[in-house]
Chain A
Amino acid sequence: MTTVTVRGLSKRYGSLTALEAVDLEIGVGVTGLLGPNGAGKSTLLRCLATALGPDSGSIRVHGFDPAVPAQRTEVRRRIGYLPQNPGLYPNFTTYDLLDYVAVLKEMTDTRQRRAEVRRVLDEVELTDRAKTKVRKLSGGMRQRLGLAQALLGDPDLVILDEPTVGLDPEQRMLFRALISRIGERRTVLLSTHQTEDVGALCERVVVMSGGRVVFEGNPRELAGVADGQVWLSGNPPEGSAAYWRNADGLYRVIGQRPEGAEAARPSIEDGYLMLLGRATIAEVAR
């Protein structure tokens, strides 16, 4: 079932085009939004989260139109949003912060609100940190708290803007497990720079570049974009747009086949790099 429908969405900041005629449909499960800096990921997520009004185009969340003020409130009742910089109040305890956001989410009955706070604390495994001040939480715990506030009210659509940035591998694993669990019955849309996150978590992936959607499909299809264009070579290739030396001492080359090179199985990252074109490939290789 489709949770979010986006048609012809555009947004400009002065002369800069952040989104250009974006069309998208997103359903239950985890969808990854991949793209380089400035691709328009955060702008798209902010529009979907109702933090930003688009210049043109339409959005529907469960059929509600956020451009209409009364329907915007209905959309807000159905979403949970973790921005890139959530700015969680450092002097609040974990419990206080969630209680405050729960009030903002119209949970006016004290008993029900507290039950909801306990539920999300348990869901993100922070129950034993309920009395800890936000400033004393580790980066991973703070992200889990950010996720917890997004989950208050059990929203149908959870929007996460680069939630794994700055997390160490252990914290990232824990966070991935959480998101995966959340995505079992909800629609989760997360933006990331990490192709590993997409491979580990997402049933569907959307790649953005220059404010446009340049790919929609599943992670295997994204890897398939680089089919027949990834090679392993014993020597550094000449004239290839991107290559790097892997742990086995072989050169992984994307693009034209170097002489004597063997075909390699493409990864999601290979497909992503191919999609973004030679300019991005050159930038990444640098």
Chain B
Amino acid sequence: MSEWHVDPGLLQQYEQGVLNPSRVMAVEAHMSACATCRGRVPVDITWLTGNWSVVFDSIHAPQAGPVQRLLARVGLPEHRFRLLTATPALRWSWLIATLSVGALAVIAAWLAAAGETGGASRLFLVLAPVLPVVAVSGAYGSGVDPMHEITGTTPSAGPALVLWRAVAVIGAATALAGVAGLLLPGPGWYAAAWLLPALLLCTGTLALATVWSLQAAAVALGGLWLTGVCWVLGDRSEVFIPFVFGPIAQFVYLAAAAAAVAVLIRRRRHFDLGESR
């Protein structure tokens, strides 16, 4: 409790209702924390506390921005938005994904301007599936989140939180890469050909993260993809796109992604800090 109290003259003026609004607020701010002063004038403590709580929150609580208002309209609850956007680790994930897509677009445009439209498409198809994986790698874990030990001991911790965050960053990275894909030269299906490989890499990374850290899993699978496609590109460049992105390959990606989801469901508890491995 404060050792300072409101001057009796000022308190009398407050009671008479002759103070200006800013002084009224100052007196009420003090009275909300001072039982002695509250005892000297008739005041409704419930009203006073409630009133000052609203003032306090409107000054200190995070305000809803345009993105939150937009997502609220499509049904995303406020607390879910806070969970996904408050985390610095996730902000980095989105930033990396955005910058990667931007860099990819610049390189593709540069190649296209140099007459290498085929090169631009190939570069996009090789790198686009890795982008969501890069974003996922920054979404969860002690390596990217300094508060991971606190986060990991809250009731929200574990597979649900990992998956919510992963879906959020995959969604953002996929949308960005999708827009970039639409701008590419070449057949229209190129814009969608990378989606199933991306799905496989993301689900595979999450499944592998039940054994290793998310970051190690992302590096392993992303590296495996890049090594594999670069090898095909070097060895069988004339059939690269049908071989890596043709219907048979797409079916294989879908089947492998389904298997990864099954592993993920079976081993989901291993995302939990408290689980004995």
Contact = CB atoms under 8 A, between A and B. Distances in A.
Contacts of A103: 79, 82-83, 86, 156
B78 interface: yes
Given A50-B274, A106-B156, A130-B56, A89 B146 contact: yes
A54 B147 CA distance: 22
Contact of B276 (A54, A76, A93, A99): A54
A106 B82 CA distance: 12
B82 A86 contact: no
B274 A72 contact: yes
B153 A50 contact: yes
Nearest to A94: B60
Given A73-B155, A81-B153, A87-B149, A53 B82 contact: no
B150 A86 contact: yes
Contacts of B272: 69, 72
A100 B83 CA distance: 7
Contacts of A92: 86
B87 to A, nearest CB: 8
Contacts of A114: 53, 57, 61
Nearest to A89: B88
Nearest to A122: B33
A105 B83 contact: no
A127 B159 CA distance: 34
Given A83-B149, A87-B150, A89-B146, A106 B277 contact: no
B274 A66 contact: yes
B113 interface: no
Contacts of A100: 82-83, 86-87
Contacts of A105: 154-156
B249 interface: no
A101 B152 CA distance: 11
A32 B79 CA distance: 36
Nearest to B154: A104
Nearest to A53: B276
B3 interface: no
B277 A53 contact: yes
Contacts of B250: none
Given A66-B274, A67-B276, A103-B83, A49 B61 contact: no
Given A55-B276, A76-B155, A114-B57, A96 B150 contact: no
A87 B145 CA distance: 8
A50 B156 CA distance: 13
23 contacts: A46-B149, A50-B153, A51-B149, A51-B274, A55-B276, A69-B269, A73-B155, A76-B153, A76-B157, A81-B153, A85-B149, A87-B148, A89-B146, A93-B60, A96-B62, A99-B82, A101-B154, A104-B83, A105-B154, A113-B79, A114-B61, A118-B57, A131-B60
